[in-house]
Structure 1
């Protein structure tokens, strides 16, 4: 009897472990840069212990660089989903005509239409995105109450956004949270505040990538190479889908279904349709291909990606120096800037994170300081620091908080870096999140300042063997992926 009970208990525990492991995989945490902020913002490195800020230290200035909140698909991607709906209909009809069994076909395929069918516009901030920024503004106000106790003035709390509507709408939602209770408008006692923007054609602080001719040429040349990198993964998963559901899916179908999964899970909180087509290992591989694309085209894969963001880094440091000067000269409260708040895009947040040296591993910070190329993020199941869902989810952000520490004998001013509101290690400051301001400038900022924006972006680069080199890279990467190598030995700075 006892043995029977033990046996039943073991079966029960095995079932529980299986159920828990299945439930533990949340596809919404594996959507790369399409991840919703509230789902991933608290996913942090459990091995990092934040620095304990000494008593007597207090914040005197805050810089924020944030991505816009969750948005709807663009018009181009909505057309892709309409094409997917039409092709699913063809696949099912062809299978029926060939008298193939349709019992494996998911029921939602029959008559499926895109949730955005008929929409004429796209890319706008949705209500979830508004909530993300509004609540972020409230949390920052509560966390740094002394910084935001002054009477509002546009020169004290500077709010900037790009001219793209979803970025400026994010700035407005954030400001409504930050300044709630400070005015007389409506039940929330809101107040009007200023959001300024530069012209798209000249915004080298927040849309530097749009003004950088060398970067635009690089993107145009390398996007086909990135697609080649992803092909083996998509082909493998396409083959699995064909075997699993009995329909003659193409690589484009797999790509579109993965895109649909990300949109459904992030925007609509639906995970039992497109996302359920893929197994957890397949999701992690698809996530990795997205992360790889972000790494190559926006991140550490090419030094140009982040060097063009130097004007933004200079602007951040300048604002800190002005705050220090105001404190040293004892300017009257309300007469100097307390916060500089910026709202832009993943193409802004990712390079800025790279300029700070975030999400690097081992000796990689020393490598980029010496202008040596880095390896790609490791392929699953290997662990990696570089994850799009962490680096730049919707509403993803970097905050640099300047502290005054009058009692400190070595330095009176320190910079704390928060990523998605959590302290994050800076390799340039002995992997601390709390760095003496002079060390921050010397070790992290100064090495980048030798790269002038105009030289980086507009001086024509010579690549006499570019065509041959690119074709060789295609072959090498295809060979790499066909062998399934995880420890990539090819140097990404060649891209």
Structure 2
């Protein structure tokens, strides 16, 4: 009798479905998306550009990643296929009563459509958001260092140096940055593109030793492969498949596509939520982030000694330019040097600086121990990531010259320095050998295959080719 009364009361109502949680109602979602993190997420808070007491800025040197871009052509094809996956998810929930997404997340997924500009013709090109964030960054820097950017602009081509890799996204980022930096100036020249082997900004493309790797290195490829075959990643596959109402485990490739759509949607429209982020809970997003951190740790970071070769070229350039200022005290030109490059160069440069090194290496088996790791690409290499070094002449008794380092507008912590502020003499002793020994000859050592020969389908999800497109 009680059952009959209950059924009568529920005529016309929607049966409650068991849900994990509602992403649409989460006021504090996890937004650390490794190298596809929006710059504004990494740059939250007030910029820390500041005046250094008793010091005068004489030159700034910047290494920046390009702004947000569209995916590569192969990934665009995979992302467009998510429309079919979306339809299956809706059918799983509405017709088969499988799946655990809440109604709001389902409604958002139903209303989702791919970005209109996400076509193979636009593959890897800079987005409108990427142009905006680059102009915004330039305006912030100009405001923070007015003596380096006087309003009565002189000869821009003499006072400032600009250079970008040949890619459209880097060239367009550079042009947008120049527009933001020299807004109101009478003319903004366009630097000629650089041709030839660009070992300064893209050494990984022209360095056989880095490409081939080190045959004595047992870690490259293996750690990521083991992690993607391990329990944490297997749990992600199982949980996501079940949450979406599938009675079989989805492929790792499909999981990666949904993760990519989640983070690209957020990059393109920072103020909006992507319904594809509802596919994962916060813990699963952290696992996906760690997989990419793990890969870059061995590709560009502290996981391999050979990675020092890639970052030494921009390091050498910075050190040489600051030495010239030191030796020619009356010549303050150029006032600024601005380089625009890609993820591997950014991360390998930070590695050569000695920044963000953890006390233990990242491996496939210590994910839980590394939850507070310093090597986190979401913070180190989001879109428009930038390292700014400012050379000062000072009247302090402790140091005649100092260098202040910033990462994403925040003081970059370096051992032996005070909240990013380093004595120049200390920097020369710390980094001088790395800079002086940097040579293209180092790129032609003997080495074995860089990629583990026993490549599994899982490792293809995070392949070397995807890294080179960043």
Which of the five TM-score ranges fits, normalised by the shorter chain? 0.7 to 0.9
| TM-score using structure 2 length | 0.79
SS at match of 1:274: helix
| TM-score using structure 1 length | 0.75
Instruction: Check conservation: 1:310, 1:449, Cα contact below 8 A.
Output: no
Instruction: Check conservation: 1:89, 1:111, Cα contact below 8 A.
Output: no
Instruction: Classify 1:439/1:113 alpha carbon distance in 2 versus 1 (closer, same or farther; 3 Å).
Output: same
1:440 equivalenced with 2:431 (yes/no): no
Counterpart selection for 2:199 from 198, 201, 204: 204
Partner in structure 2 of residue 411 of structure 1: 399
Encode CA deviations 1:159-216: one digit per residue, 9 max, x unaligned: 1111101101111111111111221xxxxxxx222324322x4100001111111222
Encode CA deviations 1:8-52: one digit per residue, 9 max, x unaligned: xxxxxxxxxx99xx8553333x1111111112113799xxxx999
Partner in structure 2 of residue 460 of structure 1: 446
Counterpart selection for 2:162 from 159, 164, 173: 159
CA distance in 1 between counterparts of 2:383 and 2:417 reads: 29
1:423 equivalenced with 2:411 (yes/no): yes
Worse-superposed segment, 395-404 or 306-315? 306-315
1:125 equivalenced with 2:142 (yes/no): no
1:246 equivalenced with 2:245 (yes/no): yes
- Please list, as runs of the form range in 1=range in 2, the aligned pairs for 1:4-403 lying within 5 A after superposition: 23=26, 25-28=28-31, 30-42=32-44, 55-87=53-85, 89=87, 100-102=96-98, 104=100, 106-107=106-107, 114-115=114-115, 118-149=119-150, 150-183=153-186, 191-199=187-195, 201-218=196-213, 222-223=220-221, 226-232=224-230, 233-247=232-246, 248=248, 249-269=250-270, 270-327=272-329, 330-331=330-331, 336-361=333-358, 374-376=361-363, 379-380=367-368, 382-403=371-392
Instruction: Check conservation: 2:297, 2:362, Cα contact below 8 A.
Output: no
Q: How far is the alpha carbon of 1:347 from its aligned partner?
A: 1.6
Instruction: Classify 1:274/1:462 alpha carbon distance in 2 versus 1 (closer, same or farther; 3 Å).
Output: closer
CA distance in 1 between counterparts of 2:337 and 2:421 reads: 19
Q: How far is the alpha carbon of 1:111 from its aligned partner?
A: 9.1
Q: How far is the alpha carbon of 1:64 from its aligned partner?
A: 0.4
5+ long unaligned stretches in structure 2: 1-20, 460-470
Q: How far is the alpha carbon of 1:136 from its aligned partner?
A: 1.0
SS at match of 2:338: strand
Instruction: Classify 1:52/1:343 alpha carbon distance in 2 versus 1 (closer, same or farther; 3 Å).
Output: closer
Instruction: Check conservation: 2:316, 2:435, Cα contact below 8 A.
Output: no
CA distance in 1 between counterparts of 2:298 and 2:54 reads: 43
Q: How far is the alpha carbon of 1:424 from its aligned partner?
A: 1.6
Q: How far is the alpha carbon of 1:360 from its aligned partner?
A: 2.0
SS at match of 1:411: coil
Instruction: Classify 1:171/1:52 alpha carbon distance in 2 versus 1 (closer, same or farther; 3 Å).
Output: closer
Instruction: Classify 1:195/1:376 alpha carbon distance in 2 versus 1 (closer, same or farther; 3 Å).
Output: farther
CA distance in 2 between counterparts of 1:273 and 1:159 reads: 39
Encode CA deviations 1:91-139: one digit per residue, 9 max, x unaligned: 777x69xx84357563566696543565433111111111111011111
SS at match of 2:337: strand
Q: How far is the alpha carbon of 1:246 from its aligned partner?
A: 1.9
Instruction: Classify 1:118/1:359 alpha carbon distance in 2 versus 1 (closer, same or farther; 3 Å).
Output: closer
Instruction: Classify 1:196/1:415 alpha carbon distance in 2 versus 1 (closer, same or farther; 3 Å).
Output: farther
5+ long unaligned stretches in structure 1: 1-17, 184-190, 365-373, 479-495
SS at match of 1:253: helix
Instruction: Check conservation: 1:168, 1:195, Cα contact below 8 A.
Output: no
CA RMSD of aligned residues (A): 3.5
CA distance in 2 between counterparts of 1:219 and 1:86 reads: 42
Q: How far is the alpha carbon of 1:341 from its aligned partner?
A: 0.7
Instruction: Check conservation: 2:213, 2:448, Cα contact below 8 A.
Output: no
Instruction: Classify 1:231/1:89 alpha carbon distance in 2 versus 1 (closer, same or farther; 3 Å).
Output: farther
CA distance in 2 between counterparts of 1:181 and 1:113 reads: 39
